[in-house]
Each structure stands twice: as C-alpha cells, then as structure tokens.
Amino acid sequence: MILRSGVALAILMGILAVLCGAQEPPYFVTYSHSLEEPGNLEIASKGAAGSPQYANSFISQTLELEYGATAWWTTEVYLAGQHTSNDSTIFTGYRWENRFRPLLREHFINPVLYVEYEHLTRADKGLLEVTGHDSIADFQLTNAQARSALEQSLELKLILSSNTHGWNISENFIAEKDLHEPEPWEFGYAIGVSRPLALAARAQSCVFCRENFSGGLELYGGLGTTDGFGLKATSHYLGPIIGFNVPKGPTITFSPNIGLNDNSISVLYRFTVSYEVQQVFGFLHRGGR
Amino acid sequence: MMALRLLPLSLSLWALAASAADYSAWKHHVPDADRKRTSPYAGQSDAIAAGSRLFSDHCAKCHGGDALGSRRRPSLRAAEVQRATDGEIFWLLRNGDLRHGMPSWSPMPEPSRWQIIAYIKSLGEVPAETPQPGSIN
C-alpha cells in the first residue's frame, strides 16, 4: 500500500515536471534576494540522485509551489518524496517557507530573512540544505527505519545577495532547530555565484542563444552545532551549474555536485524543471481590463 | 452644518491629490546622479526590438501587451513615465517599488534593462482617460 502510494506520488511529480516549465535562478541550495513576482506562481520539480558509499542509490523528488504574495514577501510549500533502490518509494513530508525583504531598496548587499517550518521524516533525501553533522551515514538507514523518525524543525536563514555587472553573488547562513527533541541548533552555509552567458537580448527571438543560458558555481555544507561548531564531521559539496531558460517555457537546471570529503556523497546529480504561471490570480488584479 | 456638507468634497479632493502625488512619488527618491544617466541604446532599432521581446516576457503580464496598464497597474504610456528620464526609469527598474507591488528587476542584466527602457520610450505617450489609482509603482 505504501509502495503503491509512493509510486503514484513519484509518477505525479514526474508528470508535473514534464507539463510545467519554469523561469528560475540557477541555484539549487543557495537563495538570492530575488523573490517571486507578486501574483506569480512558480511550480518546480527538484530532483537529486546519488549513490552513497555503503548505501543504496536513491533519487528524490521535491515538488515546489512558490507564490509571490507581495513584492517583498514570497511563500512556498514543498512536498517531498524519494525512491531508494532495493528498498521503497515513499513520501517524506512537507516544508513551508517564507522569505522577506526587510529593506525596500536595492543595496550593494541585500538581506533577505527566511523562516521555514519542516515536517519531514529522516528518510528525506531532498538535500535542499546541509546543516549540522549531516553526513553519508544518514543514507545508510533503510526507509523503514528512517521514516519512523519524524522531525519537526524550524529553519532560519540570513540571505545576503548582490547583483553587479551581470553577476549574482549570494551567501546564506543557516540555523536549524528540532522543535520537539532536545537537540542543539545546527548550522550550515551555502554560497553561489552565477551569471547569464549574455547580458543583452538579441533583437530576434531565439532558443539556443547565449542570453537563455546561465552558468554558475555553488558551494554548501554543514557547520556543526551549538555543541560543536566548525567543520569537524560535516559534509560539503561543490558543483558547477548550468541553467537553460526556454523562451516562454520552462527553465531547466542541472548540476553535478562533488562531495568534498569522506562524509559527503562522492557525486550528487541535481536537476530542476520549473515553470512560472504568471498572475495566477490575475482575475483579482486585472480589474476592468 | 456647512462644514459637514463640504466634508465629502474635501475628502474627495484630498484623495485625488494624494493619489496624484502617490503616482509619481517614486521620482522624488531618484538621486541626481541616477536621474542624469543616459541609455546607451536610446532610439536604436535593434535595442527596441530586443526590448519589445523582454517587455513581452517580463512586463506585459502586469502592464498589458500595449503597456496601457489596468485598473491596478499603471500605464507605462502615461506622461509620468514617458516624460521621465531614462535614468529615472532605470532607477525604478533597479529598485522597484516594493511597497506598491513593483518588484526589483536588479537580477536582470543592465543592458537588458536599458533595452526595455528603449522600447517603452518608443511607444509614445497616451494620455490617461481617468486618474490612475495605482502608482508606478
């Protein structure tokens, strides 16, 4: 029964990924200060696949619904699931996040405040962030073992981001706390740099021209806990990113992430397909037109 | 008694004045250095064509394909926009007017933003038939 519902979920997420396109910044873990435009709904399917040492290979799918509530507030819901080979396909939980821009003007460094509630089992393999002492050992549990441990946690991020000369440079500082277990705060970081391959648009419409591609680099990992802050027994990943924005269609993003130490998965493949539904509640906004 | 009768009229005039002031309020915040910036693409046909495509992708959903706006979204062909300097519009695109729903377009590369401005300016002014309730905002 569980397997059937898990497979159904995976199929649904896959179908959504195919049907929906997207316009997205190229990062997988790092956030910039770019928020969703007011009234727009972005639907994204985020995937991660890896073969951890001494554990079964897996593929995770996270369905993301991101809505621009105002020009300074974006809210998102995530539904997460994963399939582990020689094991099962399961739904692992949900997240609800909110991002706020406290400063209403553009500055050289632009802060964004991020608040997220997570209701996930330990079987979640979405890797939307790495915190504390997250490591390869977490992947060695079977789905049956891991899904019995539910984590309800609060995650806070300070997002700092700059746009200059076509480049985006973003730094995220992450703090996460389990709300029900007496566990310490866990910390993490994510840093991203990206740039479109062309800064000016061409006069003629085109699909495979440079302006529709962006490239970048992302580095992220854990920083320990309040009981042991630092890099000891943490995992870290570094990867190049390539994003392709299909004109009036989806945005497709891909990145091979390289694990930087023995606690990390050696190679993690990330892919996202996203599509922006413009002015989803437009009938409320368009007025007389 | 007379004061009570004049109250609705006073309120209407105040609302009209407040609305008119709000509509172009963003311009007062533009620093002089930004106001004086000039577009590297002004009047160039290729830039206008590219700006047209960018406008269609990013701006038309709110301001309309004809840039005339809607009840809640301002016309970009109103005098307040068409008579603004390129530098003033560039400042607005960079900063947005988050309080009134206009997002910041700073993630868009600067040359692309100048191309959008070249296109908007090429459209020309269309006088508003009714007072614009939004701001450009």
**A111 SS3 class:** strand
The angle at the Cα of A247, spanning A14 to B97, to the nearest 5 degrees, equals: 100
Which residue of A lies nearest to B56 if distances are taken between CA atoms?
Answer: A248
State the CB neighbour count (10 A cutoff) for residue A91: 19
The angle at the Cα of B95, spanning A108 to A30, to the nearest 5 degrees, equals: 55
Q: Which of B70, B106, B111 sits opposite A200 (nearest CB)?
A: B111
Q: Go through chain B and tell me how many residues it has.
A: 137
Measure the CA–CA gap between A246 and A21, rounded to whole angstroms. Answer: 8
What is B83-135 written as a DSSP string?
Answer: TS-HHHHHHHHHH-BGGGTB---TTS-HHHHHHHHHHHHHH-----SS---S-
**Tens-binned pLDDT, residue by residue, of chain A (289 aa):** 444 544 444 444 444 433 333 345 799 999 999 999 999 999 999 999 999 999 999 999 999 999 999 999 999 999 999 999 999 999 999 999 999 999 999 999 999 999 999 999 999 999 999 999 999 999 999 999 999 999 999 999 999 999 999 999 999 999 999 999 899 999 999 999 999 999 999 999 999 999 999 999 999 999 999 999 999 999 999 999 999 999 889 999 999 999 999 999 999 999 999 999 988 876 555 443 3
Q: Does B103 reach chain A within 8 Å, measured CB to CB?
A: yes
Contacts of B32 (CB under 8 A, 6+ apart): none
CB < 8 Å to B57, chain A: 247-248
* Closest among B116, B98, B111 to A33, alpha carbons compared: B98
The CA R_g of chain B, rounded to the nearest whole Å, is 17
Q: How far is B83 from chain A (nearest CA, A)?
A: 23
From residue A238, give the alpha-carbon distance in Å to each of A198, A209, A235, B39: 24, 27, 11, 39
Q: Does B93 reach chain A within 8 Å, measured CB to CB?
A: no
Task: Give the ipTM of the model, two decimals please.
Answer: 0.84
pLDDT at A99: 98
CB < 8 Å to A106, chain B: 94-96, 104, 106
**B23 SS3 class:** helix
Which residue of B lies nearest to A284 if distances are taken between CA atoms?
Answer: B72
Q: Does A104 reach chain B within 8 Å, measured CB to CB?
A: yes
